[in-house]
Each structure stands twice: as C-alpha cells, then as structure tokens.
A and B are shown apart, each in its own frame.
Chain A
Amino acid sequence: MIQLAIDLAFILEKAILIGGIITVSLVVAMYSTWAERKVAGFMQDRLGPNRAGPFGLLQPLADGLKLFMKEEIIPNASNKFLFILGPGLAMMTAMMTSAVIPWGKQIEIFGRTVDLQIADINIGILYIFAVLSMGVYGIMIGGWASNNKFSLLAALRGASQMISYELAMGLAIIALLMLTGSLSLKTIVEQQSAAGGWWNIFYQPLGFLIFIVCAFAECNRTPFDLPEAENELNFGYHQEYSSMKLGFYLFAEYINMFMSSVLMATLYFGGYDIPFVNDASLIESMGMNTVAILQGLSLFAKAAFFIFFFMWVRWTIPRFRYDQLMHLGWKVMIPLALINMLITGVIVLIKENGWPF
C-alpha cells in the first residue's frame, strides 16, 4: 500500500498562514494605491481622493471595480499566450517574496506553537534574490508579447535596469551578511532583537543607503521609473494592456513596494523587534500571542514608514535619464558597495582577531 507521510495539521497551518499573508499583502497593496494618491495630493497642496467613503477609503474598491468593468483588449498582432502570461508572472513573483519573511515570533493556537513565517529556509536572502531576478520576466514577456515598439523598448530598459541594480543590491547585502553570518532572515531578526535596539542600520548605514536606492530601481519607482516613462515611451511595457491585466501590473508594483519595505525593515531595522523594549521579557509578562501581534504591528509600522518614504521620494525627485541611471548603477553604486564590503570585512577581521599591529 502506498503511504503518504504527510502531516495534515502542518499543511493546514501553512495554508492558513499563506492565505493570511497573501490577503494582507493584497490589502496593503490596495491601500497603497489610495495612500499614493493621498500623499501625492497632500504634497501638491491638494486633498487627494476623498469622495468614495470617509477620507476616500473606498477609492481602491471603486478603482478595482472600474478595472474589472473595462473591456479586455488583446491586440491582434500580439502573442496571446505570452500576453496573458506576462501579468500573471509579474503578480506571482511579487507575491513569492513574502514566503521567507518572518512576520512575528510565534503564536500558540490549539496547543500548537506556530512560527509566523511560511518557510524558514537557511538561504532566505538568496531565495529573495532568485525571486527578484524572476521578476524581470513578467516585464520582458509582457513588453515583447504586446508587439509594440514602445513596449519592447520599455521592457528592455526595465530588464537591464533591474539586472544592473541587482548586482549592487547583492553586494550591499553581502556586507550585511558578513556581520550576521547567516542567510536566514529569522536568524538576522533574532540577532537584532537580542542586541537590544542596536539594529543593523547602525552598523551598515552605507549598505542601507545602497540597498534602498537599489530597491527603488528594482521596484521601477521614481526616480528610476524609466520602464514606464510617459513622456518618451507613452506608457511603458504595459501600454497595450487593459482591464485587470493592466491592474495586475500596477498591483504587482505596489506589492513589490510593500515587500521591499518589509525587507528593509527586516534586514536593517530589526524586523518585528519592538523598539525600546526587551521582547523576551515582554513575552513573559504579556503572553506569547499578545506579543506576537504587537511584533506584527511593529513590523507593519516600519514597513508603512518605508512605503511612505517611497511615495515621498516619488513626488519629490524627477526621473533620471537612461545614461545617468546606468552611470549611477555601475559606476557609483557598485564601487560604493564594494568599498562598503571591504571596510566591513576589515572590521569583522579586526574584531575577531584583535588589532594585529
């Protein structure tokens, strides 16, 4: 007899966790669109959307409904299969990052201790890089399948931009990994939590700067939003898209933004660590579940700040020219990241072996 050695409760637990995290990131992405318009309005001395519901809070629903109601147009000369695959890939890669992020420590439900993380794999950061590098395909396939010169140009721009900035991002993280000595995001967060407020940002300010700039480029956000530059490429790689397929592309951008915000908070700002208090002693006094919820909220607060920062920058800084973008990526960011790596390496060596001279 064939026996399947599967722990049903384990699968159920993970399924609920995955469902919850996907729902949360979709809702956050939805309200990021609202927040984006609000922030843009406030920074330009306007009010932003405020008609649909109190403070315009139902605006994302109205937008989504509008996108669903729009006519679905697939250009005749396009490659139909790839045209539909493109937005799906973009959305999928955007969601996949969330698998290795620790959202809180642990909760106890029905006698089971559940880690608030989908998968604690010991190559967490490398996994994120793999998913990021997959993100290029959504753009490239969509842009090429549209059979439109502007879309193709935008897709090539987007892909080359993402590949270029991935390098600097990787080098910035390598310096961080030298300090932590682990690729698992959970370990990184626990180390920062144990250090009591001495988050990695204090050890790696330059690395964080490089990382945040590269994160902007990876998410195709202003000042690096060349793939969707309206004034020279019409609308960029999703020019031929309409209806919810366009919505998927736009949505994927916001999910990417949320994920990179969470990643920044996790890597450099202590993740779910609650600032100014000792989490371990808090668990003893308040119980595991309350603290887990507080930790989740703390992570969300940090992520919300970074999302605001993304928008703040978008409505402040104008777009780079393409050669300036490449110049910044290859001639500024990568050397800076290498220098940062070198300095970190020297300091780590000195710390381990003492001052040799």
Chain B
Amino acid sequence: MQTLTNRSKAVDRHPMTMWEKMYLPSIAKGMSITLSHFFKKKPTIQYPEETRPFSPVFRGLHILNRDEAGRERCTACGLCAVACPAEAITMEAAERKEGEENLYREEKYAAKYEINMLRCIFCGLCEEACPKDAIYLSETFAPSNYKREGFIYGKNDLLIPDPKTEPELYQKAVGERARKS
C-alpha cells in the first residue's frame, strides 16, 4: 500500500527474544526515564503569583476611559453597540446637567453602560468603532463568578479609576502596554 507520509512505521510483531522476555531491562529503562523527569525543571506557571507575559495584541477586559481631568469620555453614541458582533453591549444615554462638567466631558453621557462578558468574544471591534477613545481592551482576564448576573459588567466595573483622586490605581488599570506607547 502506498503511504501518504514517510513517517509511518510497520508494527513489529517478531516473537520476543530472551532479553525482552525478562522485562527487567525495559522496566529499568522506563524507570530511568521517569526519574530523569523527576529532576527536570517544571514548566508550571503558578497563576495568581506568576502570570504569563501577554502578547502586545492581547485583548482582555474592557475599560471605560477618562481624560486627563478625570472626566468620562463616553458620549453614549452607541457605535460600539452597533459594531459589536456578539451584541454584548447595551447602554442608556442621559443629558449632562448643570454643574456636572467635571464628571462628563461632552453634553451627553452614558447613564447605564453594560457589557455581558458571557457574550463578548473579545474581538476589539468596539475599541475600533469608538470615535472618542472611550473604550479600550485591557490586559486582564474576566475573573470567574458563581452566577450569570456576575458576568454582566456595569459602569462601576468598567470605569477606570479617576487619575486625579486615585493616580496609583489609574496607572495600574492603564497597564504596562499603554504606558509604553
């Protein structure tokens, strides 16, 4: 029969020789292999303490961005929701009131902004669609949860910490990658 690859091997069915019948040499060989693995360096990454380095194009959990003054950038235009292929994003818009200029950058803002992380496929199209640089995909995973409701992330889960009041947390949320660029 013609073989497809040159890697195929015929099964060896010759009767065992005396040396092979004793089994002990092959057992010793197997034991030496396992013992050598005993002393090998383990490739395990101990997750919470150690993390794998992310690739530069990694797309993780979303964050809603603020500007330098700490105002929310999102204007609830809905382009991200339209762009989302998984239909994971919903939002409700509201008008900015007098005296809220330090909270929201434009006259319109998102009163409610929800992303269902169970639907989200982390494609990053929302990031590309956003005209205001308001939504970004960060370097973190979605943590596990006991309930489905826990995976629907609201505004207080998504918003980045205020750079004015909590500069350290802000830096952490921005992440290694953004700081470099």
Contact = CB atoms under 8 A, between A and B. Distances in A.
Contact, chains A and B (beta carbon distance below 8 A): yes
B27 interface: yes
Given A39-B38, A46-B44, A316-B30, 7 more contacts: A42-B38, A42-B42, A45-B37, A45-B43, A47-B42, A316-B31, A316-B33
B10 interface: no
A215 to B, nearest CB: 16
A50 B42 CA distance: 13
B34 to A, nearest CB: 4
Q: What is the size category of the interface that chain A forms with chain B? A: 10 to 19
Contacts of A47: 42, 44, 46
A312 B34 contact: yes
A160 interface: no
Contacts of A198: none
Contacts of A42: 37-38, 42
Nearest to A309: B31
B35 interface: yes
A43 B31 contact: no
B179 interface: no
Interface secondary structure of B, over-half rule: helix
Contacts of A46: 42, 44
A31 interface: no
Interface in B18-34: 27, 30-31, 33-34
A317 B30 contact: yes
A326 to B, nearest CB: 16
Nearest to B24: A209
B97 interface: no
A45 B34 contact: no
Q: Which of A42, A46, A47, A316 has the most CB of B within 10 A?
A: A316
25 contacts: A39-B38, A42-B37, A42-B38, A42-B42, A43-B34, A43-B35, A43-B37, A44-B37, A45-B37, A45-B40, A45-B42, A45-B43, A46-B42, A47-B42, A47-B44, A47-B46, A312-B31, A312-B34, A312-B35, A313-B31, A316-B30, A316-B31, A316-B33, A316-B34, A317-B30
A235 interface: no
Interface in A3-45: 39, 42-45
A315 interface: yes
B161 to A, nearest CB: 31
Nearest to B33: A316
Sort chain B's interface into a size bin. Answer: 10 to 19
B29 to A, nearest CB: 10
A196 B29 CA distance: 32
Nearest to A328: B23
Contacts of B42: 42, 45-47
Nearest to A39: B38
A44 to B, nearest CB: 7
B106 to A, nearest CB: 49
A334 to B, nearest CB: 17
A88 B98 CA distance: 79
Interface in A312-333: 312-313, 315-317
A50 B46 CA distance: 10
A316 B40 CA distance: 16
A329 to B, nearest CB: 14
A333 to B, nearest CB: 12
A213 B147 CA distance: 52
Contacts of B30: 316-317
Contacts of B33: 316
B38 A43 contact: yes
Interface string A247-260: 00000000000000
Contacts of B38: 39, 42-43
B39 to A, nearest CB: 8
Interface string B44-82: 101000000000000000000000000000000000000
Residue among A42, A46, A50 with max Cβ neighbours from chain B (10 Å) = A42
Nearest to A315: B34
A350 to B, nearest CB: 28
A212 to B, nearest CB: 12
Report which residue of B34, B40, B46 has the largest number of chain A beta carbons within 10 angstroms of its beta carbon. B34
Contacts of B44: 46-47
Nearest to B39: A42
B43 to A, nearest CB: 6
Contacts of A43: 34-35, 37-38
A43 B30 CA distance: 12
A166 B121 CA distance: 62
A46 B45 CA distance: 10
A74 B150 CA distance: 39
A59 B19 CA distance: 43
Contacts of B35: 43, 312
A50 B40 CA distance: 17
Interface string A38-65: 0100111111001000000000000000
A266 B125 CA distance: 72
Q: Which 4 A-B residue pairings sit nearest by Cβ, starting from the closest?
A: A316-B34, A43-B34, A42-B38, A316-B30
